[in-house]
Structure 1
Amino acid sequence: MDEAPRLLTVAAAQYPIDTLATFADFQAKAARWVNDAASRGAELLVFPEYGGMELASLLPEPVRDDLQAQLHELQPLRDDVVATWRALAETHRVTLLAPSLPWQLDDGRFVNRAWLFSPSGQAEYQDKQIMTRFENDQWGISAGAGLKVFETPVGRLGVLICYDSEFPDLARALVEAGAELLLVPSCTDTAAGYYRVRLSSQARAIEQQVAVVQSPTVGEALWSPAVDINIGHAAIYTPCDHGFPTDGLLTISKDATPGWQLARLDLGAIHHLRCHGQVNNHGDWPLQGDRLATTIDVLSLP
């Protein structure tokens, strides 16, 4: 039986790290961005990894120049940040993945946490699973709790924060748990880093026959030792198969201009590929195990 259309308008933010004078400036910026996407029909809004670090611009200069000090001084702002995004999701009746920010746990460790809000104001979060060298070695950000699948009005969502997208088994675990759409908020400071996340996200779309939404930070914030350079392109990726772009690029930004990338996505058509696509990547995934379980021969060919 053919899958019924399940149309969804998705907005991926290409989000700049701005210098803010007051917390009210942050709230006004958040409101502008959400209103812009919602007024264009977006039902799911995806913001990037570490977009919340722009709030460090509100701290005294000696604090914002110190990688560890800023982590502690951001914490008093976090509840008001969550309240801001929650209110916007409710007001505009959208599902919204907010920019992630460092979050201190009860044991004193810091994680990279992205909050997801529903149109009714319900809130849950996803913590990053695997840390980059910078996060581990210089910044002191730790891995958080495990992966989650979120039941939302727009479908079942999974979140792979930046580097997490580069590990296929994480995506597979989410899809096996029912995720229909993968969200990849990212923050990369080199073109190479951006392409690692982009190409990994596209690979996950092919392997699991799902759509993947990437939202990056962009531009310079030279006052910040954590997010000073930001390179990326907002995009929505699909499998390369019937009814979708041959290169898997449903939409992608053309330059570094801040703004939204919006696209109409048919989740029903993507699910249909798992039964009727040219290939069966999702269904054939377990066959890898059968192959790996066989003896690997090492042959000498003089």
Structure 2
Amino acid sequence: MSRTLTVAAAQLELREVDSFAAWAEQVRDLLDRTPDARVVVLPELVTESLFTIDPDWRTHEIAQLTRISAYTDEYVALFTAEAARRDQWILAGTHLVATPGGHENVAFLFGPGGEVLRHAKTHIFPAEADWDTGEGDELAVHVIDDVTVGIAICYEAEIPEVCTTLTAMGAEVLLVPSYTFTEAGFWRVRHCAAARAIENQVYVVHCPTVSHLEAPLAPGWARASVLSPCDLVFPADGVLVEARTNEQDAITHELDLDLLVENRRTGAATTHTDRGRRRDLYEKYAHHTL
């Protein structure tokens, strides 16, 4: 029997809400559209809508976005319950979390057995410095139904070393929640996610944030996708499935992991192996690396 993993990207739209309960209802409605998925990925800063619970939110500076960390306990409780109820693994986007050293942009992976796994973004986007967020210092992979997954949050997908490390640790599927304020930003992450799929011969689930909210919050340009390497056994452009543009949407796709393993072995471009084949060459010029 072949190894498969059904994944979904739940492309949520940030909307003005008057309570945590109203936001949670929107999340549940979107999750209802992914019943066949074993792993569901939501977008980066999925909780940013909670900033709008304050009726005066338009008068606040963006630096006050860290206010949403006050909802961390409710956020964790919601997704812990939903993962168990739906028998799914839910990468619940990211959320700003207060730590002794400041705030971190943290991806939470909730499991059906009550698992709550965290990954703090290791490379913040320059604009995130305006929110007084720090950076995490750990990378990890997780096994879901005999498939190894890694998490790369938005800008992390633009840093090849992050995904190279996750792949070296065994990742076969990269989960990439993102939030980009412009179409250019979206394509930067999307093209980099596609490059990571090609160079590491992995699948990538890219799930961006949709937003049409006004300042101080930023717009979100989005078109979620599930990506593969570009080779004869996959779509020529590497796009397995794609969401509608800048609308709340959910897409689902069954990944064939045995096909991926075979592609790593016999594909037209065996980059997963060949990237390390000339390590001796790269080490000659290591003093030139950043």
**Fold similarity call, TM over 0.5:** yes
- Please state whether the residue corresponding to 1:104 is helix, strand or coil: strand
Q: Which residue type is aligned with residue 131 of structure 1?
A: I
Alignment match, 1:230: 220
- Please state whether the residue corresponding to 1:98 is helix, strand or coil: strand
Distance (Å, rounded) in 1 between the aligned partners of 2:90 and 2:151: 12
Q: Is the 8 A contact 2:10 2:40 kept in 1?
A: yes
Give the 5 Å matches for 1:126-141: 126-136=119-129, 138-141=130-133
- Please state whether the residue corresponding to 1:229 is helix, strand or coil: coil
Q: Is the 8 A contact 1:56 1:64 kept in 2?
A: no
Structure 2 residue aligned with 1:243, among 233, 238, 243? 233
Alignment match, 1:46: 41
Distance (Å, rounded) in 1 between the aligned partners of 2:205 and 2:260: 14
- The CA RMSD over aligned residues, in Å, is 1.8
Distance verdict in 2 for CA 1:126–1:64, change over 3 Å: farther
* Larger gyration radius, structure 1 or structure 2: 1
Output the TM-score relative to the length of structure 2.
0.93
Cα distance, 1:45 vs. partner? Answer: 0.4
- Please state whether the residue corresponding to 2:246 is helix, strand or coil: coil
Does 2:109 match 1:120? no
Alignment match, 1:6: 3
Distance (Å, rounded) in 2 between the aligned partners of 1:19 and 1:62: 10
Alignment match, 2:72: 78
Does 2:245 match 1:255? yes
Cα distance, 1:159 vs. partner? Answer: 0.5
Q: Is the 8 A contact 2:64 2:131 kept in 1?
A: no
Cα distance, 1:154 vs. partner? Answer: 6.2
Q: Is the 8 A contact 1:239 1:248 kept in 2?
A: yes
Alignment match, 1:172: 164
Cα distance, 1:172 vs. partner? Answer: 0.9
Distance verdict in 2 for CA 1:59–1:145, change over 3 Å: farther
Cα distance, 1:32 vs. partner? Answer: 1.2
Q: Which region of structure 1 is more displaced relative to structure 2, 187-196 or 259-268?
A: 259-268
What CA deviation, in whole Å up to 9, does each residue of 1:169-197 have, x standing for no partner?
11011011111100110000111100110
Distance (Å, rounded) in 2 between the aligned partners of 1:82 and 1:52: 11
Distance (Å, rounded) in 1 between the aligned partners of 2:10 and 2:200: 24
Alignment match, 1:18: 15
Q: Which residue type is aligned with residue 24 of structure 2?
A: Q
Distance verdict in 2 for CA 1:210–1:161, change over 3 Å: same
Cα distance, 1:162 vs. partner? Answer: 0.2
Alignment match, 1:147: 139
Distance (Å, rounded) in 2 between the aligned partners of 1:288 and 1:103: 41
Does 2:264 match 1:264? no
Identity percentage of aligned residues? 31
Cα distance, 1:293 vs. partner? Answer: 4.1
Distance verdict in 2 for CA 1:62–1:45, change over 3 Å: closer
Distance verdict in 2 for CA 1:145–1:59, change over 3 Å: farther
Cα distance, 1:212 vs. partner? Answer: 0.4
Structure 1 residue aligned with 2:88, among 90, 94, 100? 94
Cα distance, 1:35 vs. partner? Answer: 1.9
| Consecutive aligned runs of 4 or more in structure 1 exceeding 4 Å deviation | none
Cα distance, 1:225 vs. partner? Answer: 2.0
- Please state whether the residue corresponding to 2:33 is helix, strand or coil: helix
Q: Is the 8 A contact 2:90 2:109 kept in 1?
A: yes
Q: Which region of structure 1 is more displaced relative to structure 2, 153-162 or 186-195?
A: 153-162
Structure 1: where are the runs of 5+ without partners? 296-302
Cα distance, 1:294 vs. partner? Answer: 4.8
- Please state whether the residue corresponding to 2:209 is helix, strand or coil: strand
Cα distance, 1:26 vs. partner? Answer: 1.5
Structure 2: where are the runs of 5+ without partners? 286-290
Q: Which region of structure 1 is more displaced relative to structure 2, 285-294 or 259-268?
A: 285-294
Distance verdict in 2 for CA 1:269–1:83, change over 3 Å: same
Alignment match, 1:277: 267
Distance (Å, rounded) in 1 between the aligned partners of 2:280 and 2:195: 21
Does 2:212 match 1:220? yes
Cα distance, 1:272 vs. partner? Answer: 1.5
Cα distance, 1:53 vs. partner? Answer: 0.7
Cα distance, 1:145 vs. partner? Answer: 3.0
Distance (Å, rounded) in 2 between the aligned partners of 1:129 and 1:166: 12
Q: Which residue type is aligned with residue 243 of structure 1?
A: V
Give the 5 Å matches for 1:24-63: 24-38=21-35, 41-61=36-56
Distance verdict in 2 for CA 1:154–1:30, change over 3 Å: farther
Q: Is the 8 A contact 2:18 2:54 kept in 1?
A: no
What CA deviation, in whole Å up to 9, does each residue of 1:56-95 have, x standing for no partner?
1112415872223331x32321111111011001000001
